Amino acid sequence: MKLAGATTAATAFGATAGAANSDDYETITANGQVIRIGQGESFENKLIDLTNGNSVVLLVEGGNSVIRNVGFEGLHRGDGFMISITAPSGDVLIENVYLGDGSTKEGESFVHGPGAVFYHRDASCDVTFRHCNVQGWPNNGFYCSNTASGGSARFEHCYGKNNGVSTYRVAGGNDAIVDSVAYNDNTDYGPGWGGYTEDSGRPVWVWPGSTVSIEDSHFASGGYPHAIILRGNATAQMSGGAISGSVQGGGLNRSNVSSSPDLSVPEGTPTSAVDAASGETSETGDGVNGNDADEDDDEPALENLLLVEGDDSDVTRYEFEAEGDVEPSTAEGATIDAAAGIEDGVAYGVVADWKDAFRFDGDLLTLTVDGPGTVFVNGEEVDPSEYGEDLPHVLEIEGRGAPTSYEITVDGTIEFDGDEDPDDQATTVSGSTVQSSVTDSTQTFRFSGALTDVTFTDGEAAVFLDGEEIDPSEYGETELLPHALVIDGGDSDEPSTYSFRIDGTVVKSDYQSATIDDDDIIDDRFVRGVVDDELDAYWFEGPIDDFTLCGTATVDVQYNARNQ
């Protein structure tokens, strides 16, 4: 995901734009340029025209950056990689990219000729490749074995075919290949260049000493003997999916792996440069061999489409419930975001300057939106106030006769529900967090989003969510996190942005009277936010893996802060 407010204009990357073939994307004519993507920046909806014989490089120099909806059109005749990653930290998302027109060996400056994607030895970022199509490259399709010295590479719903050395070249302990495909059916590999030895053309190549995860993926070696090569003492944990061809090296642990791989393009992955640039995908999962899908596959299984379009002015949190089934979708250029989910029929998520989409059956029953985003149902903008309540969930804390203090956090907005002044109830409500105490009374709150944490500092009470008693231990940490991290904007006239990663658990906090802002995002263990002349604070447990600050704010880490 991309930080709100990050640059998205092509001119910010020094691109030379040609005449656009569509209102949905911009055409860039290759002339040997290097297009730089820096910290927090995005490069989206571009068609890169390679048909004139020239080359181009997308150089990812900063973390928390995005390449999305990019198609490389025409046979590549250069001597390098199309995408090179050097970001020293942070997350990088490369999504809906087409590199399927291949390359020749002409003018090579690498041992094996040009390749598609290169993870540089100076990089140490965590890269997710999602819905990428890479075919016909003499060198590796995804050359990511430099993760052995730091960072990670994760592949989701990717497709590789006839790549010379390997399609997925991986190494780091956190590297993973999920719901992806790679195979070879052409011993000449790419147009205009010859085949290699039997040690070439493998779908998966794992660096010595590494352990990688493979889930529900399908590989076939074609005319070459090895579908997977595990160098040295490398190992791989493979669950689900299928392999056709041998495995070199004895470190493959299999679980429910068959020998009949499905080699079609994963659903949602583009099959042409124009499809990628315009955000269109193969939702029906059609292959690229010219076979038409069944007519029944032309219609989506679920009849309605809900699209949440974000706004870069602020984050937007949403949730909705439909009458029938709900499933995520990549329609209209939307992403399938790790921060989004579906639980007990309720879909929820967060958007900034990107889109989330879902398909659903039946009527839309409830819809809650916190933020500037816009919701469309079947192409028409809808008013969330017409669907259910703004704060649809009820949370009750029922005392058991002994003084009990507690803290509640939700992924949305929470308010005290009662006629009394919250201050009279010893209740502190700040955005998405409540701190209070009860003895023999019941306190009631209404909230949107998901309940993420219920913590008792002393005593115990019964907790009811929408009328049903729940087990508080199933919601977040049962013990308070010990350490505090405070970002102080002081009296600065300019805002400061920050991002950091915790190898453990992290939650927002009002420690030292800090504000709790909805536009500060916690995505798994990665945090990013903006502070002006106030404080932002977080409770955490575990080491701080990475911290980046842009601005004049001060940062204070207090270990075991609750004991001070």
Give yes or no: residues 267 and 143 share one domain: yes
Q: Is residue 330 part of a domain?
A: yes
Q: Which two tokens mark 405?
A: 């203090």
290 domain residue, yes or no: no
- Separation of alpha carbons 516 and 520, rounded Å: 8
Instruction: List all residues 6 or more positions away from 462 whose beta carbon is below 8 Å from its beta carbon.
Output: 397, 398, 400, 469
One-character DSSP codes across 426-440: T-EEETTEEEEEESS
CA 231 to chain centre: 29
Sort 260 into a burial class: Cβ within 10 Å, 0-12 / 13-18 / 19+: exposed
- Residue 9 falls within a domain, yes or no? no
How far lies 164's CA from each of 77, 103, 242, 288, 410, in Å? 15, 10, 21, 19, 49
Q: Is residue 427 part of a domain?
A: yes
H/E element holding 309? strand 304-309
Judge contact between 531 and 498, C-beta under 8 A: yes
Residues 419 and 536 in one domain: no
Comparing CA positions, the residue from 33, 41, 37 lying closest to residue 59 is 37
Q: According to the model, what pLDDT value does residue 478 have?
A: 36
In angstroms, the CA 390 to CA 548 distance is 36
Q: Do residue 314 and residue 463 come from a single domain?
A: no
CA distance 441 to 446: 17
Q: Are residues 494 and 378 in the same domain?
A: no
- Among 474, 495, 518, the domain-final residue is 474
Q: How far is Cα 70 from Cα 15, in angstroms, rounded to an integer?
A: 13
> 371 with 397, same domain?
no
Q: Which domain holds residue 443?
A: 393-474
Measured distance CA(64)–CA(38) in Å, rounded: 9
pLDDT confidence of residue 1: 24
List phi, psi (to 5°) of 96: 55, 60
Same domain membership, residue 466 and residue 328:
no
What domain count does the chain have? 4
Single out the residue of 460, 454, 446, 445 nearest to residue 472, CA to CA.
Answer: 454
Region class of 476: left (phi > 0), else alpha (psi between -120 and 50), else beta: left
The pLDDT, as a whole number, for residue 460 is 85
Does 261 lie in the same domain as 166? yes
Q: Which of 369, 386, 403 is the last residue of a domain?
A: 386
| pLDDT tens sequence across 363-420 | 898 888 888 899 999 888 998 878 866 677 889 999 988 888 888 888 677 888 877 6
Decide the pairing of beta strands 496-502 and 505-509: unpaired
Answer with the one of 329, 362, 386 that is the final residue of a domain.
386
Quote the pLDDT of residue 527.
Answer: 85
**465 and 517 co-located in one domain:** no
pLDDT tens for the chain, 564 residues long, are 222 223 332 322 233 223 233 447 999 999 989 999 999 899 999 999 998 888 999 999 999 999 999 999 998 888 789 999 999 999 999 999 999 998 886 544 444 578 899 999 889 999 999 999 999 888 889 999 988 888 999 999 999 998 888 899 998 788 999 999 999 876 544 433 344 444 457 899 998 888 899 999 999 987 777 889 888 888 999 999 999 888 888 789 999 989 889 999 999 999 999 999 998 654 433 333 333 333 333 444 688 999 999 887 777 888 899 988 998 887 777 776 656 778 777 888 888 777 889 999 998 988 888 888 999 998 889 988 788 666 778 899 999 888 888 888 886 778 888 776 655 555 777 677 888 888 888 999 988 777 878 888 778 899 998 888 988 877 764 346 788 899 998 877 778 888 888 888 888 887 787 877 766 777 767 788 888 888 888 888 888 888 888 788 899 988 877 665
Residue pair 125/88 in contact (Cβ under 8 Å)? The answer is yes
In a domain, 289, yes or no: no
The answer to whether position 22 is within a domain reads yes
Q: Is 263 found in the same domain as 325?
A: no
Cα–Cα distance, 396 to 10 (Å, whole number)? 50
| 424 and 525 part of one domain | no
pLDDT at residue 420, rounded to an integer? 67
- Return the percent helix, strand and coil in the chain, to nearest 5: 5, 45, 45
Q: How many CA atoms lie within 13 A of 62 on its CB side?
A: 19
416/510 same-domain check: no
Q: Let me know whether 316 and 408 are in one domain.
A: no
**Which pLDDT does position 14 carry in this prediction?**
30
Distance CA 72, CA 187 (A): 24
Question: Does some domain include residue 520?
Answer: yes
Task: Examine residue 293 and state whether it is found in any structural domain, yes or no.
Answer: no
